[in-house]
A and B are shown apart, each in its own frame.
Chain A
Amino acid sequence: GENVEQHPSTLSVQEGDSAVIKCTYSDSASNYFPWYKQELGKRPQLIIDIRSNVGEKKDQRIAVTLNKTAKHFSLHITETQPEDSAVYFCATRIYGGSQGNLIFGKGTKLSVKP
């Protein structure tokens, strides 16, 4: 089955710096790659996603890049702020249809120091 590896497990940056989180996946059939932000005790919130026919997507300070050949995708957060501190999860969808479940990475705890 699909295997999603996420690195690093923890990341500490200074406010204003950039943060990059990387994920690799094993199943070449995966075609949807969302990123979620989860604050302690709360539900995961979708922050950005990308489909396999696109190489890069940007939304203000957040961007995601996808390399299908290498089977990895990355989350980039620029000009980090303390409120960006949370756990971030990457995920992939393994089925071609719309009903496929998500496979999550193990998460990255991001700490942004003021």
Chain B
Amino acid sequence: GAVVSQHPSWVICKSGTSVKIECRSLDFQATTMFWYRQFPKQSLMLMATSNEGSKATYEQGVEKDKFLINHASLTLSTLTVTSAHPEDSSFYICSAVGQASGRFDEQFFGPGTRLTVL
């Protein structure tokens, strides 16, 4: 199956600092990547949709200036949490869509990044 990696797997930072999370599709080209946020015991909430070479589309209520998304290539998307605060602490998961194993409709998820802001 298709593999999506995320880096780092966990990060602890001080309030006010910025954190960058990378999402890579390792064995297929991802035309679209999605960024989700998951708080403890809750579902995955879509933050933004990222298409290679264009600006990300953010969901209502998600601040685009705070959560910067860059999708510079067909295998890499980055999410930067700027001026992080404790309420940004969460599990961030990316997923990728592309022609992997002949399927266009399946989303392949990364392993997630646990962000803790002190």
Interface assignment of A13: CB less than 8 Å from any CB of chain B: no
Interface assignment of A114: CB less than 8 Å from any CB of chain B: no
Chain A interface extent, by class: 20 to 34
Q: Are A99 and B106 in contact (CB under 8 A)?
A: no
Q: Are A107 and B43 in contact (CB under 8 A)?
A: yes
B interface footprint on A72-114 (CB within 8 Å = 1, 0 otherwise): 0000000000000000010001000011011111110000000
From known contacts A43-B93, A103-B46, infer whether A98 and B105 are also in contact, taking CB-CB under 8 Å. yes
Q: Are A106 and B93 in contact (CB under 8 A)?
A: no
Interface of B is mostly: strand
Count of A-B contacts judged by CB separation below 8 Å? 49
A-B contact pairs, 14 of them (CB 8 A): A34-B106, A41-B91, A43-B110, A45-B109, A46-B106, A46-B107, A51-B105, A99-B32, A99-B97, A101-B34, A102-B34, A102-B107, A106-B42, A107-B42
Q: Which residues of B contact A (CB under 8 A)?
A: 31-32, 34, 42-46, 49, 51, 91, 93, 95, 97, 104-107, 109-112, 114
**Assuming A41-B112, A93-B105, what are 14 further A-B pairs, CB within 8 angstroms?**
A34-B107, A41-B114, A43-B93, A43-B110, A43-B112, A44-B109, A51-B105, A98-B104, A101-B34, A101-B46, A102-B95, A103-B46, A104-B44, A107-B43
